[in-house]
Amino acid sequence: MKKSLSFILLLAIVAGNTYAQKGWNLQIIVQPGFSYGGEFDVPLDLSSSGWTAMDKSLTFNLNMGAELAYNFNDKMGISIGMYYSHQGQDFSDYNLTSNSYSGISTTKLEENISLSYIKIPFQYYYITNPLKKVSFIFSGGFYLGFLTTYTDEKIISISTSSIGIKATLTANGSNYNRISTDNYGTTSKSVSFINGNPYDVLDFGGILAAGIQLKLSDKIFLPIMLNYQIGFIDIKNQVSQYTFDNSGNTEYFWNFLHNDNNPNKTLPYYNSTLGLKIGFKIIL
């Protein structure tokens, strides 16, 4: 009889511990890292039809948000979350020289892209042994991203022995602004886009992550994972247009320098990020 009671008590203890790993948990997340975007081509010189890709600069990225997860058992579960994600792509300055009526001119081209999203990730988790102080954790899934704000800034600076011209072209929201400065002063123009903004609102991609989970207590854990997100959708809106003059003639935003041979009209832009995902997980 005593053995039977002991066995039943042992089963109750094990069942209680196993059940404690099931159910809901909430995770607060911050993920610093790096962002990668599409290519941006510039002319080899202003008098030829050749083009080359600008070198990409290291671009920092930050995700912040929360995930609500449900564990089927002590090792496996699914989650849904909501993040704020700031990403984009910076490019190294590009310099070229050419001959003009004013002599030899030097042109510097600058390009910087900043994108902010609200992301909703859906993921599957697997934890090797959550009862240990340190366990391995893996996750995979996909995300939906909704563009909230963006800034695409191009700066063109031209200088010769007699003149200096600088034009800053900034696309933000539904507006496209141009500020030009030369020997005669500064002019500013602003127009609205036609056929939508240069970047589509929706992004969709995959998620892969792996790392360790630290057990701080029976209900508090600290997952630390290397997280990679890759976009599956080209987020460029190729038909976005504008006009800066009073003639009514429109130009495609991606037709850089109004060149019909411009490869940027068809080059895709796919988002991707790589970062260190640090969470604070509470068993509910």
Per the model's pLDDT, the better-predicted residue between 136 and 18 turns out to be 136
Burial of 107 (0-12, 13-18, 19+ CB in 10 A): buried
Confidence label for 47 from pLDDT (cuts 50, 70 and 90): low
Least-confidence region, from 13-27, 199-213, 259-273: 13-27
Q: Is the pLDDT of residue 113 over 80?
A: yes
Q: What is the residue type of 92? A: S
Q: Is the pLDDT of residue 12 over 50?
A: no
Rg of the chain in Å (alpha carbons): 26
DSSP H or E segment with residue 8: helix 2-21
CA distance 93 to 56: 9
Nearest to 18 by CA among 79, 68, 78, 72: 72
**Span 159-195, pLDDT tens digits:** 876 778 889 999 999 999 999 888 788 888 888 898 9
- Give the model's pLDDT for residue 16: 41
- Give the model's pLDDT for residue 87: 95
Torsion sign over Cα 118, 277, 269, 120: negative
Structure tokens belonging to residue 270: 């796919």
Report helix, strand or coil for 237: coil
CA distance 162 to 102: 7
Nearest to 137 by CA among 204, 75, 229: 75
Q: Output the CA–CA distances (angstroms, integers) from residue 114 to 117, 153, 214, 260, 280, in the order listed.
A: 10, 9, 34, 26, 28
**Span 217-270, pLDDT tens digits:** 989 999 999 999 999 999 999 999 888 766 667 888 988 766 667 888 889 999
The stretch 109-124 carries a mean pLDDT of 96
Per the model's pLDDT, the better-predicted residue between 139 and 73 turns out to be 139
pTM to 2 decimal places: 0.85
- Give the model's pLDDT for residue 179: 92
Residue 185, strand partner residues: 182
**φ and ψ of 121, to 5 deg:** -90, 140
**Span 53-88, pLDDT tens digits:** 999 999 999 999 999 999 998 899 999 999 999 999
Percentage of residues in the chain having pLDDT higher than 70? 85
Confirm if 151 and 113 have CB atoms less than 8 A apart.
yes
Q: Is the pLDDT of residue 111 over 80?
A: yes
- Give the model's pLDDT for residue 231: 97
